[in-house]
């Protein structure tokens, strides 16, 4: 399946010539962690950026009640961002999805299971690629995208605001924090 998906991805991505497509994910993180869209502007006027109280409370609740839906804040921000993302950002998001093959293949495999029976993987790959095209063209969000980003950002709950003085980050701390997420993801477990 990997070779098959790779050929499909190669065929599909040749039209996108985006240098730093992972920057399209930055607004998702900014909204989730800091409730801001433009952190660059914030750092022009301030030395530190404070974590949003909603994220601080969300993180505290996650630590206490790990059986709760720990991703509700991220899901809310994903859906909001997907609705308003411009064409360039949607193309970048598609490129991120396609580039992270392990997560993408896992999602396609998971969606190919129907009541415990594997169904045609070719059809599932085609359906997934079609859903990427529909998202890119019309902002139609497939539940598989949410699952992709829940896996992609799977260790977001490890971002503890209390590990930073007064729950604030400097520009350099912010850059280090974000560098973990604005790249190919390989450090995760499927649980």
User: Residues 54-98: pLDDT tens digits?
Assistant: 999 888 776 666 555 567 888 889 999 999 999 999 999 999 999
Q: CB under 8 Å to 27, separation ≥6 — which residues?
A: 37, 81, 89
E-only strand ranges, 7-91: 48-50
Q: Under 8 Å CB-to-CB from 113, ≥6 apart: which residues?
A: 119
| Residue 9 clears pLDDT 60, i.e. is over it | no
Q: Which two tokens stand for residue 32?
A: 């989730």
Instruction: Give me the torsion for CA of 41, 47, 53, 58, rounded to 10°.
Output: 90
pLDDT at 12 over 80: no
| 33-63 tens-digit pLDDT | 999 988 989 999 999 999 999 999 888 776 6
> Comparing C-alpha atoms, which of 124, 123, 132, 126 is closest to residue 108?
124
From 75, 36, 38, 80, select the one nearest 58 (Cα to Cα).
Answer: 75
The answer to whether residue 13 scores a pLDDT higher than 80 is no
**Residue boundaries of the structural domains of the chain:** 2-15+24-179
């Amino acid at each position: 399946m990997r070779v098959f998906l790779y050929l499909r991805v190669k065929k599909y991505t040749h039209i996108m010539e985006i240098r730093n497509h992972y920057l399209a994910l930055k607004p998702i993180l900014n909204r989730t962690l800091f409730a801001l869209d433009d952190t660059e502007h914030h750092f022009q006027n301030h030395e530190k950026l404070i974590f949003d109280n909603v994220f601080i409370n969300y993180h505290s609740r996650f630590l206490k009640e790990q059986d709760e839906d720990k991703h509700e804040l991220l899901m809310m921000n994903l859906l909001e961002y997907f609705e308003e993302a411009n064409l360039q950002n949607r193309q970048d998001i598609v490129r991120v999805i396609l580039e992270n093959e392990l997560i993408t293949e896992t999602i396609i495999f998971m969606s190919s299971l129907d009541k415990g029976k594997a169904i045609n993987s070719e059809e599932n790959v085609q359906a997934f690629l079609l859903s990427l095209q529909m998202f890119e063209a019309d902002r139609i969000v497939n539940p598989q995208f949410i699952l992709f980003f829940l896996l992609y950002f799977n260790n977001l709950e490890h971002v503890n605001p209390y590990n930073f003085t007064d729950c604030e980050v400097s520009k350099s701390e912010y850059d280090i924090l974000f560098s973990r997420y604005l790249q190919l993801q390989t450090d995760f477990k499927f649980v």
